[in-house]
Structure 1
Amino acid sequence: MPSSTSSSSPSFVEEFQRSWLTSLIGFALLCVGIWLLTFNEGRAVRHAHSLDEAYNRVIPLNPFETVKPELDGHLVHITGPLIIEEPLTEPEYGISIQAVKLKRRVQMYQWIEERSPRDYVDSGMEQNYDSSDYYYVTEWRDKLVDSQSFYIRHGHHNPTEIPLKSYTYISPFVRIGHLVLGEQIKEKFTDYVEVTSDERPERKDVKLHMGIYYHCDDVWNPEVGDIRVQFYYAGIAAEIVSVVAMQKDGVLIPYPTSKGRTIALLRHGNLNVNQMFSAEHSDVRLETWKLRAAGIFILYASSEKISVSQIPFLRNMVTGDMTSSTNFAISLSVSLLVIAIAWILYRPMLGAGLVVAAISPFFYCTMGIADESCLMNENDNCTSSKLNMYSKVADVNTKHQKYLNFVEEARKSYVPCDQAKCNCHSPVITNDLKVFKKGISKQSIDNVKTKYESHRCTQLLYITTHFCRGTKYQIINHRLYRDKNCMFPARCAGIEHFLLKLLPKLPDMEFIINTRDWPQIHKQYGVFGPVFSFSKTSDYHDIMYPAWAFWEGGPAISLYPRGIGRWDIHRDLLGKLGTETAWDDKIPKAFFRGSRTSSERDPLVLLSREKPELVDAQYTKNQAWKSDADTLHQAPAPEVSFEDHCKGVAASFRLKHILLCKSLVFHVGNEWLEFFYPALKPWVHYIPIEANANKEKLEELLDFVLNNDGIAKEIAHNGYSMIWNNLKLSDVTCYWRKLLKKYAALLTYKPEIDENLIEIRQ
C-alpha cells in the first residue's frame, strides 16, 4: 500500500494567535445565536403552554344573552357585530364615522438630503478616502427632518415643528352583544382603511384632492412647510368580529395565564373557538420561525469564523468555505439541540426526537475524524501520533513530505479574502496603479500613442500605427467615445458592454485599452504612460482589466465557432456540471486537452502515452507536433478528478472554467496573470507545477495526490468555491467600476472630447 508521512496540526494557541480577531467574532456570534434561540424557544414554549391552557378553559357565549355575573374572572369566547353608539369626528374636515379608531395622519413637505458615497484615491495612492455627493429633494414626510444636520444648509431650511400633529382617536364605548371591549382589546384593531370623502371642507385654506386634505396654495406645487392630512379608520360599526378574553364586570379584558402571559384574541369574521386558537398558533409559529431562522444563520456565521481558529475537535468538521454544507450541518445541529432543550419538558417526544436529530451529525463527523486520524494496529490500538491528518494512509513516505509541508504552510499563511464588493481583487488595482501615484497627465496619454510607435509597428509589420498600443476610449458627461476603428470588434464589444453599463456612475476620463494578447508597457521602457491590458507578467507596467471574454469575443472552439462569450451562462452551466459528479465517483487520473503552443506541454503528453492509466493528455490540433497519435480534433469531457491547466504563449482564458469543474487543478507556470489570478493561492486553490517540469516530476505529483485523496478533494473544493463566490459577472462589473474610478482620480487634467473618436451607444 502506498504511504505518506505525518504532519502535525497547529495547536489551538498557535491558531488563536494567528486569527484571534476572527475567532473572537465567531465566539461572540455563537453566544448571540444561542441566546437568541434560547430566548425565542422559551417564549414559544410559554406561549404554546398559555394557548393550550386558555383553550381548555374558554367558555363560548351567546351575544344575544345578558351578561352573566357568575362568569366574571373566566375566559370567554364571543362573536357578533360591533356596536358603536357615538361616531368619531373631525369637524374641521367634515369627518364623522362610527368606528373603533380614527387615525389622523399629518405630513409636511420638507427638504430631504440624499448621500451618494464615492470612493477615490489621493495622488499618493497611500490611503483610501470616502467622499460623498449630496443631493437635495423635497418630499412629504411624516416626521420632522432636521435641516441643521445637512451638509449644505444654505437654501435647504425646514420648519422646526409641524403645526398639526398626527393622532389616533379611540371610541370610548364599543361592545359586542352586552359585553364592552376593554382598552387592550380595542388596541388590537389595526387594519386601517382610508377614509374617502367628496365633502369639501369649510376652511378656504384647505383643499381636498384624492381623499387628502392639503394646507397649501397649490396642490400641484407645494412649498416647504406645507402640510397635508389623511384619515383612516379601523373597526367599522356592524362589522362581525370574534373575541377571546376574560369577562370582568361586563368588560372584556386580557386573561392572565399561569405562565405569566396574557390572552386576548381578536379576529375579524365569525370564528369558533377552534378556529380562533388555530389562527393564533399559526401566527405564533410564523413569528417563532423568523427568529429561529435568524438564530440558525448567526450560528452558521459563527461556525465560519470559529473554523478559522481550527479548534482541535472542530477542525475536521468545520471548513472555511462559506458555502460548506458541513458548516451548515454543524450549526443546524447546535440549533436543534438548543430547541430540543427548550421543548423537552413541555413536549417530551418532540424534544427527544430533536435531540437525536441534533447529535447524529456529531456522531457521524466524530466517526469520520477517527477514520481519517488513526488506523488500528495489530492490537487494535490507535497510533495517531504517527499519522498525517490529510493522508489516507499511515506509513511514512518521505517522497511526499515536501508536498505535505507545502500544503501545511499554505494553510497556515492563507487568509480568506473579504468577499464584499469584489474586495478579493482590489489589491490588484492598487498594485497596478501605484506606479502612477504622482498622477497621469495628458502628455502621458499622448505618449502611449506616439512614443516608440514607429519602431514597434515596423517590427510587427503593421501598415498603420493606429492599433500599435491600443484603442483609445473617452468617457465625457456619461457618454462613451472610441477610436473609429477597432482591431478586434468582438473584443471591443465585450469591453464596451461593461463600460456602457457603468456610464452613469463614472467621471470623465480617457484611457487606452489594449485588445491584443500581449501586454505593451515593458519596464525597460520606463513608465511613460498607462495602457490597460487583460493580461501581463511582472515585467510589464500594464494595468490589468477583466478580459472581453467575460461577455463576448472569447476564443473560438469547435463547440463555439464564434467565440465562447457570456461568462455568466458558462458559470451556471459548469457550476451545475461540476456538482453533478461526486468526488468519489470521479475518474482518478489527470486530464488535458489543448493545442501545442509550446514544448512545455510535451512531457505531459509523453507521460500519457507511457502511462495512460495515470494521465489522459492529448492535443486538440497539431501545431509542430510530430505524431497524430496524440492529436485530437475534438475535446472530450470525461468526469475526471484532476485537470491540467497549461499556459501557452500568453495567459489562458480557461483557468476559471476548469476550476468550476470541481476537479483538482494543476496550474502550470505562474508567469502570466489575469486580474483574478492573485486571489488564487498555490496549494490552497490549485497545485502549482513548474513550467519546465519533466515527466518524472509530473508523475511524482500525481502519485502524491492519488495517495492523499483528502488533500486533493479539499484543494479542488477551495478552487471551485473561490471562482464561484468571487468571479460572478457582478464581481467583474464591480472590478471595472473600482478600477476606472481610481484611475480617473489620478488624472491631472480634465479630458475634452477628441473629435477623431466616435460615440458608442447601447
Structure 2
Amino acid sequence: MSQNSFSTTSRTSWFQRLGASLSGLVFGLVLILIGIALLGWNEARSVAAIRTADEGGRQVVAAQTGRVDPALNGRLVHLSGQATATSPIADPETGVSIGGLRLVRTVEHYQWVETSRSETRTRLGGGQETVTTYDYARDWSPRPVASADFKQPEGHANPSPVLADADHPATDARLGAYRLDGEMVGRLPAATPVNPTQADATNLSSRLGRSVVVTGDALYVGANPAAPQVGDARVRYSVAPFGPVSVMARQDGDRLSPYQARHGSVFEVRTGLLDAPAMVRQVKADNQVMSWLLRLAGFVAVAAGAGMVLNPLRVLADVLPLAGSIVGMGTGLVSLVFAVAVSGVVIALSWLAVRPVVAVLCLAIVGAAVAAPIVLKRRGRPQAVAFS
C-alpha cells in the first residue's frame, strides 16, 4: 500500500450497535432541545434586530461631517462622506505598509492534508464492517493543519506555520471631523488586493530568514514557487481603501459609539454614500440572511436528533439488512416531517406577536406538511365494496 494511503477495518457486533444507538438516543433528545432553543433564540434575535432597525430609522438625525455639532451629543446620527487616514497602515510582522482604512493579511500554507472515506457493510445478523481509507496529499490550505492528529502522522509531518492571518485597522481614520475607531473600521470590507513589491519581499526575507519572492499578488515564502515544498507559504494582502462611507451611530463629541435603542444597539458602517433609509434596508436584508442560516442550522439539529432517537429501530431491523434499509428510509422520512413540524411551530409562535399573518401562514404550511402523508396514505387504501 502507498505511503500516502492507509486503511483500517473495524467490526461492530449487533449488540454493540444496539447499545451505541440506545446511548445515542439520549444525545438525540439533547440535540432536539438544542435545535429548538436555537430556533427560538434566532427568532427572538431576528425580531429584536428588525425592531432596532425600525427604531433607528425613526430616531436617526442627519449630521454634517465638516463639523461636530455639540447639540447632537448622545443622539443617533447619520453621516456620509469620504473616510481617510493620515498615517499608512503597517504590518509589524512583515513590514508591509500601505495607505488605507483596514489592512488584512491572509496566509496559505503548503502542507500535508488528510482526507478519509468510509465504506460500511451490514452483515446478516446486524453486525457491521467498516473500511476507512485515509489519503494524504500535499496541497495549499488557508489554515494550518495539525499533522499530529493524522491517523498516520509518520512521513506526513507539517512544520509550524511561518505566519498567521492578521487584521490591522487604521488607528487614525476619520470621517471629516469625526474619528472612526478600530471597531468601526474593522467592519469595512477589505476587498481590494494589494500588489507587494520587491522591497516587501526583501524585508520579509530578512525577518523570517527564508527566501521570499514576489509572485503575482502574493509574497511567496519558499525557494521555488513552481515547485512548492511542505512548509512554504503564500502571503496576500487586501485593503479597505479611502473612499465614501456611511455611518449610523451615537455621537459622543467627535467619537462614534454604539447607540443603545430599546431592543438592541445601532452601530453601522457601510461603504458608499447611502442615506439612512438605505442603510436600514441593508441591515434588514443582512438580518434576513442570518435568520435563514440559523433556521437551517436549527432544522438540521432537530432532524439529526430525531434520527438518533429513532435509530434503535433501524438497528433492531438490521438483523435482516434489507429490513434495516426499509426501516431506515421510514425513520428518515419521519425525522424530516418531525423537524419541519417542530421548526415551523417554534418559528410561528415566535412571530405570532410581531407578524401574526406570517405566523398563521407558517402554521398552515406546517399543518399541510404533516397532514399530506396521512391523506396520501388514506387515499392509497383499497375501498371496501358493499354487497346488497
TM more than 0.5: yes
Find the aligned partners of 1:308 and 1:221 in 2 and give their Cα distance: 49
The residue type paired with residue 272 of structure 1 is: D
Deviation at 1:185, TM superposition (A): 0.8
| Residues 147 and 156, structure 1, Cα contact 8 Å, conserved in 2 | yes
Question: In the alignment, is residue 358 of structure 1 matched against residue 360 of structure 2?
Answer: no
- Spell out, residue by residue over 1:242-276, the C-alpha distance to the aligned partner (whole angstroms, 9 max, x if none): 111111120111112223x2211112111111111
Contact 1:333/1:359, CA 8 A, preserved across alignment:
no
**Normalising to structure 1: TM-score of the pair?**
0.39
The separation in 2 between residues aligned to 1:321 and 1:175, in whole angstroms, is 59
Counterpart of 1:339 in structure 2 is 347
Displacement after TM superposition at 1:87 (Å): 1.1
Kindly indicate whether the alpha-carbon contact (under 8 Å) linking 1:109 and 1:225 is maintained by their aligned counterparts in 2. Answer: yes
- Pick aligned residue for 1:46 from 45, 48, 56: 48
For residues 147 and 304 of structure 1, the distance between their equivalents in structure 2, rounded to whole angstroms, comes to 33
Once the two structures are superposed, the pairs formed by residues 443-462 of structure 1 within 5 Å of their partners are none
Cα distance, 1:240–1:303 mapped onto 2, change above 3 Å: same
- 1:220 aligned onto 2:223: no
Moved more, 285-294 or 150-159: 150-159
The residue number in structure 1 matching 2:238 is: 232
1:258 to 259, 262, 266: 262
CA apart distance, 1:83: 1.4
Give the corresponding residue for 1:450.
none
Alpha-carbon distance in structure 2 between the residues aligned to 1:250 and 1:359: 52
**What is the aligned partner in structure 2 of residue 81 from structure 1?**
82
Q: Which gives a bigger RCO, structure 1 or 2 (Cα 8 Å, sep 6+)?
A: 2
Distance in 2 between residues matched to 1:132 and 1:28, nearest whole Å:
29
Task: Report the secondary structure of 1:706's partner residue.
Answer: coil
Distance change in 2, residues 1:333/1:264 (3 Å): same
Checking the alignment, whether the CA contact within 8 Å between 1:207 and 1:213 is kept in structure 2 is yes
Partner residue, 1:144:
144
Q: Does structure 1 residue 194 correspond to structure 2 residue 193?
A: yes
1:668-698: CA deviation from partner (whole Å, max 9, x where unpaired): xxxxxxxxxxxxxxxxxxxxxxxxxxxxxxx
Partner of 2:183 in structure 1?
Answer: 184
- CA distance in 1 between partners of 2:75 and 2:283 (Å): 19
Name the CA distance, whole Å, in 1 between partners of 2:171 and 2:31: 48
Opposite residue 172 of structure 1, the aligned amino acid is T
The equivalent of 1:174 in structure 2 is 173
2:246 alignment counterpart: 242
- The 8 Å contact of residues 75 and 255 in structure 1, kept in 2 or not, is answered as yes
Separation of aligned partners in 1, 2:163 and 2:370: 65
Q: Could you report, residue by residue, the CA deviation over 1:482-528 in whole angstroms, capped at 9, with x for unpaired residues?
A: xxxxxxxxxxxxxxxxxxxxxxxxxxxxxxxxxxxxxxxxxxxxxxx
Cα drift, residue 129 of structure 1: 3.9
Shift of 1:76: 0.5
Alignment of 1:102-113 (within 5 A): 102-113=103-114
The structure having more radius of gyration, on CA atoms, is 1
Provide the rounded CA distance (Å) in 2 between the counterparts of 1:48 and 1:90: 38
Please tell me whether the aligned partners of residues 102 and 190 of structure 2 are also in contact (alpha carbons under 8 angstroms).
Answer: no
Corresponding residue number in structure 2 for 1:285? 288
RMSD of the TM alignment (CA)? 4.3
Q: How many residues align?
A: 341
Please show how residues 32-71 of structure 1 align to structure 2 within 5 Å. 32-64=34-66, 66-71=67-72
Residue deviations 1:436-465, cap 9 Å, x none?
xxxxxxxxxxxxxxxxxxxxxxxxxxxxxx
Paired residue type of 2:70: P
* Structure 1 residue aligned with 2:278: 275
Q: Which runs of 5+ in 2 are unaligned?
A: 1-20, 206-210, 313-328
> Does the 8 Å contact 1:111/1:137 carry over to 2?
yes
Any residues of structure 2 matched to 1:427-438 within 5 Å, and which?
none
1:73, CA displacement in angstroms? 1.1
Distance 2:131 2:184 in 1: 51
Question: Measured at CA, do residues 60 and 708 of structure 1 come closer, stay the same or move farther in structure 2, by a change above 3 Å?
Answer: farther
Give the 3 Å change call, closer, same or farther, for CA 22–166 of structure 1 in structure 2. Answer: closer
The Cα shift of 1:288 comes to 1.2
Alpha-carbon distance in 1 for matches of 2:369, 2:197: 71
Task: Pick closer, same or farther for the CA change 1:352–1:22 going to 2, 3 Å.
Answer: farther
Cα distance in 1 for residues equivalent to 2:249 and 2:351: 27
Checking the alignment, whether the CA contact within 8 Å between 1:63 and 1:177 is kept in structure 2 is yes
Pair 1:60–1:164, CA change in 2 (3 A): same
User: By percentage of residues, which structure has more strand?
Assistant: 2
Residues 206 and 215, structure 1, Cα contact 8 Å, conserved in 2:
yes
TM-score relative to the length of structure 2: 0.72
> 1:155: Cα distance to partner?
3.3
